[in-house]
Amino acid sequence: MAKGLGRAVSSIGALVAQRLGLGLLLLFAVSVLIFVGTEILPGDVAQSVLGQSATPEALANLRDEMGLNEPALSRYFGWLGGVVTGDLGTSLTSGKGITEQISGRLGNTLFLAFWAAVVAVPLAITLGLVAVRYRNRWPDKLISAVTLASISLPEFFVGYVLIYFVAVKLRWFPSVAIINDSMSFGAKLGAIALPVTVLTLVVLAHMMRMTRAAILNVMQSAYIETAELKGMSQFKVIFRHAFPNAISPIVNVVMLNLAYLVVGVVVVEVIFTYPGMGQYLVDHVSKRDVPVVQACGLIFAAVYIGLNLIADIVSIISNPRLRHPK
């Protein structure tokens, strides 16, 4: 038994190491794409920073300061080396270190994404279980219709509708989601109530429908029929037998949507003027601050890849067929 357990742990460890290696390789490829993408942008970066009235001497000095006269390959490896050591570079517009500026904003974005996930994930799974319990009946159809309607509307439209009715007309929550360290925890939650609602509505339908589909797929299994023949109630069969065996696909879709909550918050943060990564990225894209754009793009990619790696690892652990591939 001990040998069998040791082999299982070794097999899982090898698969996890393989996934981590692929994740690092993918992140390296993404870093290349980000760097190349910012390099091929039309126009002169130095000219964009200094403006049309800049003198040739000032432009030459800025190009030299930014290293634009060096070969692209040398600049890429210099940037990548700084990233590995925790130095994301210096903002062209403010002259401050990007790592210092991003740390607080990344924390704000993760705070927003966390509370959106706290609301959205349990709600989506619960609605999925209820939809399976009453499949093809009015609760199932109502849940599907409401969630599909919510995902059909663009984020900015939902955001502005909530601002108009909830913030302006009813005055329940503020229309501008500004938070800072001096605010209490309750005040912060009140400030992000509307952005959290928008993000929840955006990801709810996808998670709910995938939960419903995964459980319905398991419900076709023979052991589910056996449990039903033993006289177990429908909800008990779903919760005790179908749901645990549908964990793997549910975890995958939950992690994908959690990654979206972090990476896809740009529009929501701009609408509610939230001091997060998305707002920071948009502000510096308009100023063509290339180091900031590169840093934000790489952080978003790392978060997305990291959450997908976690989903893969959980799927491997929870699914014997993935732990012991033929």
Give, in order, the Cα–Cα distances in Å from 146 to each of 45, 202, 212, 277. 47, 12, 15, 30
Averaged pLDDT for residues 121-133 = 83
Measure the CA angle with vertex 147, ends 145 and 152; round to 5°.
Answer: 90
Token pair of 139 as six digits = 């609760």
How much is the mean pLDDT over the chain? 77
Q: For the whole model, what pTM was predicted?
A: 0.76
What is the residue type of 100? E
Consecutive H or E run containing 254: helix 247-263
Token pair of 247 as six digits = 């964990």
pLDDT tens figures, 166-223 = 878 887 887 777 777 787 888 888 888 888 888 888 888 888 888 888 777 777 777 6
Rounded to whole angstroms, the Cα distance separating 209 from 83 reads: 39
Residue 100 is predicted with a pLDDT of 79
Residue % of the chain over a pLDDT of 70: 81
- Max Cα distance, the chain (Å): 86
Give, in order, the Cα–Cα distances in Å from 320 to each of 8, 9, 313, 316. 10, 12, 12, 7
Cβ proximity of 178 and 275 under 8 Å: yes
Map out the domains of the chain with their CATH numbers: 2-41+88-323 (1.10.3720.10)
pLDDT beyond 80 at 33:
yes
Cβ proximity of 151 and 264 under 8 Å: no
Token pair of 57 as six digits = 């001497």
Nearest to 251 by CA among 212, 298, 306, 207: 207
pLDDT beyond 60 at 1:
no
Averaged pLDDT for residues 153-172 = 81
pLDDT class of 61 with cuts at 50, 70, 90: confident
Rounded to whole angstroms, the Cα distance separating 142 from 136 reads: 10
